[in-house]
Amino acid sequence: MVDTLTPAERSERMGRVRSRHTKPELVVRQLVHGMGYRYRLHRRDLPGSPDLVFPGRRAVIFVHGCFWHRHDCKMGRLPKSRPEFWIPKLEANKVRDRLNLGRLEAEGWRVLVLWECELRDLAALAERIRAFLGGPGACNRSSFSPAPEGSASA
């Protein structure tokens, strides 16, 4: 199959592809935040710069696009044009992902990889995240002692 775009147009379009704050990542972030969990984003000091980091739980979540990380689903299919370019590029992504996963686990982090295609069933995804992170995400307000009477509260 011949590319319908000129090399300049293709370059411009590929330059718009983001690695952070993607739509699938935003869906997961909104879901996790709504469940009461709090997290840090893209910690560059960790291998692979995980999408969501839960430092107190020693847990990280990656949100992988099926195409870019070669998931075994219909969204992870190879392009028909320029396979000599795409196959090595996408396979290198898979190798890098495995290395980063191993390095994180060696450093004592628990890792969950969520795939773009899994975001269709948010209820099942929420249960999977809750099982991974363990326990409720929201802090238990009843364990906090109320402020003494007459004290100023901000």
* Residue 10 is assigned to a structural domain of this protein: no
pLDDT of residue 126: 96
* Residue 58 is assigned to a structural domain of this protein: yes
Q: How far apart are CA 114 and CA 16, in angstroms?
A: 23
Chain segment 15-62, per-residue pLDDT in tens: 666 666 789 999 999 999 999 999 999 999 999 999 999 999 999 999
* Residue 12 is assigned to a structural domain of this protein: no
Q: Residue 8, by phi and psi: left (phi above 0), alpha (psi -120 to 50) or beta? A: alpha
Range of the domain at 57: 17-130
Q: Beta-carbon neighbour count of residue 6 at 10 Å? A: 9
* Residue 94 is assigned to a structural domain of this protein: yes
Strands 110-115 and 59-64: parallel
Chain segment 21-31, per-residue pLDDT in tens: 789 999 999 99
What is the tally of structural domains in the chain? 1
Q: Beta-carbon neighbour count of residue 99 at 10 Å? A: 12
pLDDT of residue 154: 39
pLDDT of residue 143: 34
Please report the sign of the dihedral spanned by the C-alpha atoms of residue 46, residue 48, residue 52, residue 56: negative
User: What CATH number is attached to the domain comprising 104?
Assistant: 3.40.960.10
